Amino acid sequence: MAKTAIKPVGIDLGTTFSVIAHLDAAGRPATILNAEGDIITPSVLFFDGDLVIVGKEAVKAAIHEPELSVAFMKREMGSSVFSRVINGKKYPPEVLQSYVLKKLKADAELKLGQVKPAVITVPAFFDDPRRKGTQDAGQIAGLEVLNVINEPTAAAIAYGVQEGFLNSKGESERTERVLVYDLGGGTFDVTLMEIDGKSYKAIATDGDVYLGGVDWDHRIVDVAATAFLKKHGGKDPRKDPSALTRWLHEAEEVKRALSAREHTNFTCDFDDKKLRVAITREQFEELTADLLERTRFTVSSLISEAGISASKITRLLLVGGSTRMPMVKKMLQEEFGRAPDQSLSADEAVAHGAAIYAGLLLATGQGATPTVTVRNVNSHTLGVLGIEKSTGRNVNQVIVPRNTALPVSKVSRFQTAKAGQRSVVANVIEGGDLSGNNATRIGKCTIKDLPPDLPAGTPVDVAFAYSDSGRLTVRARLPTLGIGAVLVIERASGLSEQQVKQWGDVVGSSKGPLELNED
Ligand code: ADP
Ligand code: MG
């Protein structure tokens, strides 16, 4: 197939489920079914010797051998400490994620022929290392990642394009302020977007990387386990990995049933002892009220942070499988006095938006006029860890405040600490408090080989260029000396370029995994 004939895809790389979509002959987004014939593919792996199985089959196998299975690796993306050990080998999260992408790619190729250029979605609140990790996972899987796009932005694009508030030129007739509430399996994400004409602008974003449907499942397991222990005594089923996997599976079924019915039963066994407990929707809602409340709190603080009154929001968009729980709609209805919009497919919207965006990127790359423009905000403050001269304390010098419109370039001035300093280091951090506590270390930017007798207090300019996809470039300069050393950001976590390439060979050929050295 000629290179120009390769059509791009959009991939929603979810915590629990992933989806791949493309643009059909008429240019409309369409989901590509996986080899099992499903729209969604569980983001779950099972290591069967050298073979890595992904999806539904992996979920089944995990029940019997949880130690050979991996799920929820998106939560660990870009982390420097997480490395899952399977069969005695270490796998970084990027590599685990790349197996999911590889399966989606291979299944799509059955239908489309070669699949290469892709846009992959990320939660809006993903920080730079997590975005970089996602791009690396794509590269390891053999994809050419055109860009990453925020999930709520993708959902809003799919919504704008599909749901007909755009005119024949693809522009909205009036300014729409859309609140995207995305509650998935393991993450919660809320974003306020403004759609004006063909421009999609994020205004503010917030989220919780540790809140999703699985937390609702755990509450059901807790109640069932308590009932089990009361009835039979003995060992706690939650302490047995295989039983816990099975019980969580049953809890998820119960939860889904309660989205459709008022009551159902939880039936499971452990240690040859059976359990059957009735559970009503009302009970379930009471059990999980605090989880739902956390999402309500995030929504209302986001709106107040954006400085917009709730009445100015024109649409409420629900995305993510967990928004099928009636309690979510009820809560948003109470909060906004209006029913949320459910015209989007909660499972497919994000992948569809990514496919539209991928098509757009490729077309603009080939000289076409963009039909949609996307503007994002950064979800975390970005700064440099400096030292206060008078106290010697660490200070987080914020260079780009949170929720700043992207792309953005900012420069901040620092100075050398002592006379004769031969190098300067700018430690780049994301998030964190005024002293830099709880911040993510992104990496450091170093200027080496400074002239020998530099006085203390020599100015150092640190410039941040934050791209519209939320990726960061840092440059440091000594303006008085005009030192324009070539500076590369040395990453504090994630994989090096070389590791990405090596893992690409491993994942591509299914050879045994590489070793990772201790830090
Ligand atoms: P992610 O984007 O995090 O991978 P999804 O958006 O695919 O997640 O949502 C998956 C979550 O949605 C799971 O926790 C699943 O149990 C939940 N879910 C799917 N359908 C329903 C339903 N009918 N009722 C309640 N929860 C559901
Ligand atoms: Mg999702």
Average the pLDDT over 80-108 and give the result: 89
Average the pLDDT over 190-219 and give the result: 90
Average the pLDDT over 455-469 and give the result: 85
Which pTM was predicted? 0.86
485 pLDDT band (50/70/90 cuts)? low
Domain boundaries along the sequence of the chain: 9-169+344-376+499-507, 213-287, 382-485
Å from CA of 42 to ligand 1 middle: 10
* pLDDT for 79 beyond 90: no
Ligand 1, residue 260: give the atom nearest the CA. 23
| Nearby residues of 437 by Cβ (< 8 Å), 6 or more positions away | none
10-24, 154-168, 450-464, 468-482: which is most confident: 10-24
**Range name among 70-74, 144-148, 188-192, 375-379 with the lowest pLDDT average:** 375-379
Pocket flag, ligand 1, residue 184 (CB < 6 Å): yes
**Given this model, what pLDDT does residue 504 score?**
85
Å from CA of 319 to ligand 1 middle: 10
Q: What confidence tens digit (pLDDT) does each residue in 145-181 have?
A: 999 999 999 998 898 887 655 555 666 677 889 999 9
Pocket flag, ligand 1, residue 209 (CB < 6 Å): no
Å from CA of 322 to ligand 1 middle: 4
201 pLDDT band (50/70/90 cuts)? confident
Å from CA of 321 to ligand 1 middle: 3
- The pick from 255, 317, 352 for probing ligand 1's pocket by mutation, whose C-beta has the most ligand atoms within 8 angstroms, reads 255
Taking domain 382-485, whether its CATH number is 3.90.1150.170 is answered by no
3-state secondary structure of 161: helix
Pocket flag, ligand 1, residue 187 (CB < 6 Å): yes
3-state secondary structure of 243: helix
Å from CA of 421 to ligand 1 middle: 55
φ and ψ at residue 507, rounded to 5 degrees: -65, -40
CB 16 within 8 A of CB 212: yes
**Given this model, what pLDDT does residue 2 score?**
41
**Given this model, what pLDDT does residue 366 score?**
82
Pocket flag, ligand 1, residue 252 (CB < 6 Å): yes
| Nearby residues of 157 by Cβ (< 8 Å), 6 or more positions away | 200, 353, 356, 357, 372, 374
* pLDDT for 4 beyond 60: no
Residue whose token pair is 């932005």 = 153
394 pLDDT band (50/70/90 cuts)? confident
φ and ψ at residue 95, rounded to 5 degrees: -70, -40
* pLDDT for 487 beyond 70: no
Q: Is 138 or 476 the better-scoring residue by pLDDT?
A: 138
Q: Of the CATH numbers 3.30.1230.10, 3.40.50.720, 3.90.550.10, 3.30.420.40, which one belongs to the domain with range 9-169+344-376+499-507?
A: 3.30.420.40
**Given this model, what pLDDT does residue 469 score?**
67
Pocket flag, ligand 1, residue 288 (CB < 6 Å): no
Pocket flag, ligand 1, residue 152 (CB < 6 Å): no
| Nearby residues of 509 by Cβ (< 8 Å), 6 or more positions away | none
**Range name among 40-54, 234-248, 388-402 with the lowest pLDDT average:** 388-402
5 pLDDT band (50/70/90 cuts)? low
* pLDDT for 49 beyond 80: yes
Query: Mean pLDDT in the chain?
Result: 88
- Class of 213-287 in CATH: alpha beta
Examine domains 213-287 and 382-485 and report if their fold is the same: no
Average the pLDDT over 127-131 and give the result: 86
Pocket flag, ligand 1, residue 207 (CB < 6 Å): no
Q: How far apart are the C-alpha atoms of 61 and 54, rounded to whole Å? A: 10
Q: What percent of the chain has pLDDT over 90?
A: 49
**Given this model, what pLDDT does residue 1 score?**
40
Residue 38: exposure state from Cβ atoms within 10 A (0-12, 13-18, ≥19): middle
Q: What confidence tens digit (pLDDT) does each residue in 351-390 have?
A: 999 999 999 888 887 887 777 778 888 888 889 988 887 8
- The pick from 11, 16, 20, 352 for probing ligand 1's pocket by mutation, whose C-beta has the most ligand atoms within 8 angstroms, reads 16
- Strand ranges (E), 103-209: 117-122, 144-150, 176-183, 188-196, 199-208
Pocket flag, ligand 1, residue 397 (CB < 6 Å): no
- The pick from 288, 322, 350 for probing ligand 1's pocket by mutation, whose C-beta has the most ligand atoms within 8 angstroms, reads 322
